[in-house]
Amino acid sequence: MTGGQIAGLIAAIALLILVLFIGMFLVKLNKTLTEVNRSMKTVTDDVDTLSKQTENIMANANELLKDVNQKVATIDPVFQAAADLGESVSDLNTATRKLTDRVGVTATRKSSVAARMSKTAFDLYRNRRHKHKQTTVD
């Protein structure tokens, strides 16, 4: 064998080894892509299922929200009436306090006058009784 033939044989063997490695790589790559494709199909199916369930949930949520809005609209007047009543009670309390303060001042003045008159009347009664006892004892 000549040097050129040996070089050609080495090149052919190197090319064969390269083709074998590339073939093994492509087989592994094919297996990996097949698994990824299966996984993607599962994921796609799961996403489709989730999408349908999400649409159902959103539809139910919209119906529930409409129902709640209708019911809130129905009871809004009740809350407004309660607020108006609370305001009226607050106004009544304020007016009652003012009236009580005015009556209290007047009543205090009148009661002090009445107390003084009562004391004077009691003193007169006591003095008369005391004088009556002295006249009967003498």
Q: Tens digit of pLDDT for each residue in 65-111?
A: 999 999 888 888 888 888 888 888 888 888 888 887 776 666 566 66
Q: Between these two residues, 54 and 126, which has the higher pLDDT value?
A: 54
Q: Alpha-carbon distance 123 to 128, whole Å?
A: 9
Q: What is the mean pLDDT of residues 44-70?
A: 90
In this prediction the pTM is 0.38
Q: Between these two residues, 130 and 43, which has the higher pLDDT value?
A: 43
Q: Residue 104's pLDDT is what?
A: 64
- 31-40, 71-80, 87-96, 129-138: segment of lowest average pLDDT: 129-138
Q: What percent of the chain has pLDDT over 90?
A: 35
Q: Residue 28's pLDDT is what?
A: 96
Please give the C-alpha separations between residue 110 and each of 19, 102, 119, in angstroms, as whole numbers: 123, 12, 14
Q: Residue 138's pLDDT is what?
A: 57
Q: Alpha-carbon distance 83 to 67, whole Å?
A: 24
Q: Alpha-carbon distance 134 to 138, whole Å?
A: 6
Q: Residue 45's pLDDT is what?
A: 85
